[in-house]
Amino acid sequence: MTALVRAELLKLRTVKLPLWLLITTLALVALGVVATVLTAGTEGSPLQRDDPDLLARAVASASSGNVVVLILGILVLTQEFRFGTATPSFLVTPRRARVLVAKLIAIAATGVVFAVVSAVVAVALSAALIGLRGDPLTWDGTVLQVLLGVVLVMVLYGPIGIAVGALVRNQIAAVVGALAWMFIVEQLLVALLPEVGRWTPGGASTAVLQLGDVATTRGELLPVWGGALLLVAYAVVFSLVAARLTLRRDLT
């Protein structure tokens, strides 16, 4: 199994895509931090400039790359079929479940790397910006909890992406569908129908990041632990469905 995970990580390291996606992630993180800090105290923002949670809120932008990790997961799986590399993969490892598990582990590990780099950038940039504006910086347990939430979210979105790739198979449809789901459907549900929205992966992530009262006007998201459990459940169920769909298929 170690050999297979190493092979999957090597697959990721020997193409350019993950690096580009990491750069994209950092751009999203920076954008999120800047927007959070600079809008604090303005009319549309739920945060005051001296809000003790300002740093924690800004740092939560480190999870912005969840969509990028999701797309990486989708591409990792769909490209195997698109480029026909699934054939050599399954020839080397005829027990296909092992290949899939190795992929899930490799993408989760990649999620950790993305999360750590994002967290470093988010913390540094948030502290610098808040400091520059002369606002108070509050380093407390909330910041640490948010950072742990970031890692959890980033670890779980990759496996969900692999599962979406296995389900949809058509690369473009899977990517476009995932983007539309995350940026349109979930946003609307969380904002307008929180009683439904809190059960979506996006709602669960928002809960994990303790953004409940920020993301919705009514603060009707799940508690942190509930969001975490729900997100884990999504990743597990999706992965099992992916396994079922990928493993028995004829490769002609």
Binding marks (x or -) toward another protein, 9..48, rule CB under 8 A? -xx--xxxx-------------------------------
Residue type, 109: A
Cβ-contact 188, 213 below 8 angstroms: no
Q: Which of 7, 30, 120, 236 binds another protein (CB under 8 A)?
A: 7
Question: Is residue 81 a contact point for another protein (CB under 8 A)?
Answer: no
Q: Site mask, another protein, residues 210-249, x = CB under 8 A? A: --------------------------------------x-
**Residue of 44, 94, 134, 141 that binds another protein (CB under 8 A):** 94
Give min distance, CB of 57 to another protein, in A: 38
Q: Between 8 and 186, name the residue whose CB sits nearer to another protein.
A: 8
Q: Does 141 bind another protein (CB under 8 A)?
A: no
Q: CB-wise, 5 or 34, nearer to another protein?
A: 5
Rounded-to-integer distance, Cα 63 and Cα 52, Å: 20
Shortest Cβ distance from residue 218 to another protein (Å)? Answer: 47
CB of 235 to another protein, least distance (A): 24
Q: Which amino acid is at 11?
A: K
Residue with tokens 């190493």: 6
- In 3D space, the residue among 137, 119, 145, 148 whose CA is nearest the CA of residue 40 turns out to be 137
Footprint of another protein (CB under 8 A) = 3-4, 6-7, 10-11, 14-17, 79, 83-95, 248, 250-252
